Amino acid sequence: MTDKNMKRRNKTDDLEEMQETLADLASGKLKRMTMSAGEREELQRAAAESLKKANRINIRITPQDLERIKKKAAAAGIPYQTLIGAILHQYASDRISASI
């Protein structure tokens, strides 16, 4: 979705996405993540850091990967951009490494 299309999203789109996610949770297609207090604190710190961002980046990602990231973020109760930022922060801080 381009930046122009993102601006055109409306509450109906968000509601439909939320309803789909809730239906996936109810059907067992999605599972809630269990995380330790430390993991939750790390995500909260990363989220707080993401609010301080001064630079914006654009990346290309397959629709399937983006959908999976959105579902994981929803299961964790955080916005998907925050999850992506947290992962990048952890990688940049040498807390996780690439296994490509």
Say how far apart CA 66 and CA 44 lie, in whole Å.
21
Residue/partner pairs of 55-64 with CB below 8 Å, 24 or more apart: 58/3
Q: Which residues contact 75 (CB under 8 A, 6 or more apart)?
A: 25, 30, 31, 32, 33
pLDDT top residue among 65 and 89: 65
Residue 11 is predicted with a pLDDT of 65
Q: Is the residue at 70 inside a domain?
A: yes
Please count the structural domains in the chain. 1
Task: State the average pLDDT over residues 44-59.
Answer: 79
Q: What is the mean pLDDT of residues 31-50?
A: 80
The model's pTM is 0.48
Q: What is the pLDDT of residue 66?
A: 95
Domain of residue 69: give its range: 37-100
Position 45 in a domain: yes
In a domain, 76, yes or no: yes
Residue 26 lies in a domain: no
Average pLDDT (31-45) is 81
